[in-house]
Amino acid sequence: MKKRIGFACLLVISLASAAAAQNWFLGTFDQAVAKAQTENKLVLVDFYSGG
């Protein structure tokens, strides 16, 4: 029982710290591509369609 509580606490703390560490880029797609090229990174495009 103590192991489960300890694991649950560890899980909550790790998820909270991971969510706080996100720095979302707010700008146009072209700005994101330009920034990614200067930082030598890839661009992740995430979209959702409900229909």
- Kindly report, residue by residue over 14-40, the tens digit of the pLDDT: 776 655 667 788 899 999 999 999 999
Q: Is the pLDDT of residue 6 over 70?
A: yes
Query: Which pTM value belongs to this model?
Result: 0.49
* Separation CA 23–CA 19 (nearest Å): 9
* Separation CA 10–CA 23 (nearest Å): 23
Phi first, then psi, for residue 28 (nearest 5°) are: -80, 165
End-to-end C-alpha distance for the chain, whole angstroms: 44
